Structure 1
Amino acid sequence: MKKIVIACNSGLGTSLMIRLNVEALMKELSVQAQIEHTDITSLDAYDADLIIGSSYVIESLHLAGTAELIGLEDITDRQHLKVRLMESGTLRDWFA
């Protein structure tokens, strides 16, 4: 199963808000994926294919895994999120 993890500093407000938007966009795009949200210190517990968060959170990550990272400049703009997802090589592979 494809896995998307949304991360923020505390794993509460920001990541939950982004998660709800990601879930809506995945449904719109007819992509089935397991979607979780968490704090940045717990990311290693997830075997994510795609990690999404605000740009400053994503830039601070030092992960050893192979997950693609997507940093959002505007975490409230659903259209910006959609554009960034459509630019994702990982997501494009899921359509193949």
Structure 2
Amino acid sequence: MRKIIVVCNSGLGTSIMIRMNVEALLKEFGLKAWVEHTDVTSMEAHDADLIIGSSYILDSLDSISGIEMIGLEDLIDRQYLKKMLTESTTFQLWVG
């Protein structure tokens, strides 16, 4: 199954909010994926197909080979998140 990891510093507030928006958008697109939220230090322990988090956090990390990362400038706007997802190479493959 497809797996999306949503990361933030603590793995609590921001990542949960983004996770809920990602899950709503997946439903809107009729896609199924496992979505988890975690703190940035634990994200590599998850076997993800796509990683989403604030651009501030993701820009400070080394790329993980073979996994696309979506860095968000706006963490609240669902339409912005939708735009970023639809521009994602990984997400485009899922939509077909």
Normalising by the smaller structure, the TM-score range is over 0.9
> What's the offset of the Cα at 1:95?
2.0
Query: Which residue of structure 2 aligns with residue 64 of structure 1?
Result: 64
Once the two structures are superposed, what CA deviation does each residue of 1:10-35 show, in whole Å capped at 9, x if it has no partner? Answer: 00000000000000000001110000
Unaligned runs of 5+ in 2: none
RMSD of the TM alignment (CA)?
0.8
What's the TM-score, normalizing by structure 1?
Answer: 0.96
1:46 paired to 2:46: yes
Please give the alpha-carbon distance, in whole angstroms, between the structure 1 residues aligned to 2:81 and 2:89.
14
Unaligned runs of 5+ in 1: none
SS of residue paired to 2:18: helix
Please give the alpha-carbon distance, in whole angstroms, between the structure 2 residues aligned to 1:86 and 1:43.
23
- Identical pairs, percent: 59
Superposed, 1:1-96 pairs within 5 Å as: 1-96=1-96
Once the two structures are superposed, what CA deviation does each residue of 1:26-56 show, in whole Å capped at 9, x if it has no partner? Answer: 0001110000000000011111010000110
Please give the alpha-carbon distance, in whole angstroms, between the structure 1 residues aligned to 2:48 and 2:6.
10
Aligned residues: 96
Runs of 4+ residues over 3 Å off in structure 1 = none
Contact 2:29 2:95 in 1 (8 A): no
